[in-house]
With several copies, the nearest count.
Chain A
Amino acid sequence: MTDMLDGLTLEPFEGEEEEWDGVATGPTPDDALYLELDGWEGPLDLLLDLARRQKVDLRNISILALVEQYLDYIDRAGALRLELAADYLVMAAWLAYLKSALLLPKEEQDEPSAEELALRLQLRLQRLAAMRDAAARLMGGDRIGRDVFVRGAPEGLRIDRKHKWKCDHFALVQAYGQVKARTAPAIHMVRERMVMTLDSALSRVSSMLGISVKWMEIRDFLPDHANPQLRKSALASSFVAALELARMGKAEIEQEDIFGPLRLRAMPKAKNAA
């Protein structure tokens, strides 16, 4: 079953466990170590491998022996001045702590106790081992494309949907009526709108300016009219008329603050002459 694991064997020690000696074996120890470390997926994987070397049920492994094997392994790598991934070193530090804790008399142990930590590690190793075995058995099953084959050239099933169209007499004549109604020639009428033209505003404002030389608010120039639309239009037209008169030098405009009342008066004759 190892053939489908892209060259990685599930159990790297299998078949060679007698000879296994870590870095010491092999003609090129440095390479050998690198290769060994490449073969493990992290410290837990390495620990599981070491645990299996104890050749006992994982429930009966000696955690202390396991810790020592791991630390020894890391030590040897250190002696060769090989770079180890940080997580291997973190695990080594933690295991060194665990080892010292395990060696202490129970009453001197902190919480959580060394036994609890050791048990947790053991449980984790059991779980990883269980999944590794499960994966192997899963891969060993009758897999489609390797052990069993599905039909090579199925003819295929197809469901053709055929539409049955529904319409009734009423819908038909109603639709025709609507086409006729929609396309009947229509007469467009433009409604007359109440506006004050600029011309009429201009003559109204200039004639009212002639009467007084006092400042007058622009609203005073508007005709009395109930229609709000016309009042708006008159205001706009009168404002433009005021600007026009100011431009022609016939009127002055004054506004003390923003949005304040806008006032205007006829240009005094003297100034006008200057």
Chain B
Amino acid sequence: MSAPDELVRAVEATLFASEEPMTWQDISTHLGDADVKPALAELQAHYAKRGVRLVERGKKWFFQTAPDLAHLLRREKEQIRRLSRAATEVLAIIAYHEPVTRAEIESIRGVQTSGGTLDVLMEAGWVRMGPRREVPGRPLTYLTTPEFLAHFGLESRRDLPGIEDLRAAGLLDPVDAAMEALDFEGGDETAEDDGDDGEFARTDTDAAGE
């Protein structure tokens, strides 16, 4: 590759360092009234196949990441997080009682539910908003989604074990007091972060509940 001439290099550096897009007149003024148009054309051709492009928009020139590489500027990284106990409870209540309002969820749980908890469940795609309840205040109701059934391996909500099944499985035994204390100490109502490894770090509180 032959070295670009001095004017081309100067235009390249000027546009690279500029904080604003520049018209060719701006560039020309900056470079002592040089005729920069051929240099701009040469640069545009040079960069056409590179990761960076020289583009002209509204008569102003600037460098920009090549459109096919735009995805590199905004990367998404998936982070696996385990649903917190609070969120799991809210999800279970919605599943067993839907359609259910937030006030009803709170009355069943016996504690206030932070808005973040419902957000998380909706973000996870397991809960959606249902019709408003026709009572004073017209509160929103919440429903589970088909993704919820799919994720939990249920054909329908009727597959959820009934209260008698829960009792038989020992799941209605009184909750360990220490565990309750852990759960309701205004910590992270929304989520317990397992880090990026995606492993379910089964914590002590988990084990205590089994």
Contacts and interface: CB of A to CB of B under 8 A. Distances in A.
Pairing of A with B: yes
Given A162-B79, A164-B81, A127 B64 contact: no
Nearest to A166: B82
Interface stretch (A169-177, A211-219, A266-274): A169-177
Interface string A37-81: 000011111000000000001011110000000000000000000
B193 A151 contact: no
Contacts of B41: none
B83 A161 contact: no
Given A6-B82, A59-B193, A179-B89, A138 B160 contact: yes
Question: Max chain A CB contacts within 10 Å: which of B17, B79, B110, B163?
Answer: B110
A232 interface: no
A41 B86 contact: yes
Interface residues of B, number: 82
A156 B18 contact: yes
Contacts of A132: 89, 92
Contacts of B70: 142, 146-148
Binding site secondary structure of chain B: mixed
Contacts of B78: 145-146, 161-164
Contact of B17 (A131, A141, A157, A163): A157
Interface residues of A, number: 84
Interface in A89-125: 106, 109, 111-113, 115-116, 118-120, 122-124
A138 B91 contact: yes
B153 A135 contact: no
A149 interface: yes
A57 B81 contact: no
Interface stretch (B42-50, B134-142, B171-179): B171-179
A4 interface: yes
Contacts of A8: 84-85
A165 interface: yes
A159 to B, nearest CB: 5
B197 A146 contact: no
B184 A119 contact: yes
A126 interface: yes
A143 B73 contact: no
A150 B142 CA distance: 27
A189 B210 CA distance: 28
B196 to A, nearest CB: 8
Interface string B185-210: 01100111111111010000000011
Nearest to A167: B83
Nearest to A9: B85
A104 to B, nearest CB: 12
A139 interface: yes
A182 B175 contact: yes
Contact of A147 (B67, B91, B163): B67
A134 B160 contact: yes
A211 B174 CA distance: 57
B34 interface: no
A189 to B, nearest CB: 15
B162 interface: yes
27 contacts: A4-B83, A6-B82, A8-B84, A59-B198, A62-B193, A115-B191, A115-B192, A116-B186, A124-B175, A134-B163, A138-B91, A138-B161, A150-B17, A152-B20, A155-B16, A160-B75, A162-B76, A163-B81, A165-B80, A166-B82, A166-B200, A176-B95, A176-B166, A177-B169, A179-B109, A180-B166, A182-B180
Given A118-B191, A144-B153, A151-B17, 12 more contacts: A126-B171, A135-B92, A141-B152, A143-B152, A146-B74, A150-B62, A152-B19, A156-B17, A158-B73, A167-B88, A169-B154, A182-B180
Interface of B: 13-14, 16-20, 30, 53, 62-67, 70, 72-89, 91-93, 95-96, 108-111, 120, 123-124, 126, 150-154, 160-163, 166, 169, 171-175, 178-180, 182, 184, 186-187, 190-198, 200, 209-210
Interface of A: 4-6, 8, 10, 41-45, 57, 59-62, 87, 106, 109, 111-113, 115-116, 118-120, 122-124, 126-128, 130-135, 137-139, 141-169, 171-184
Closest 6 CB pairs of A and B: A44-B110, A177-B171, A115-B191, A135-B92, A113-B186, A176-B92
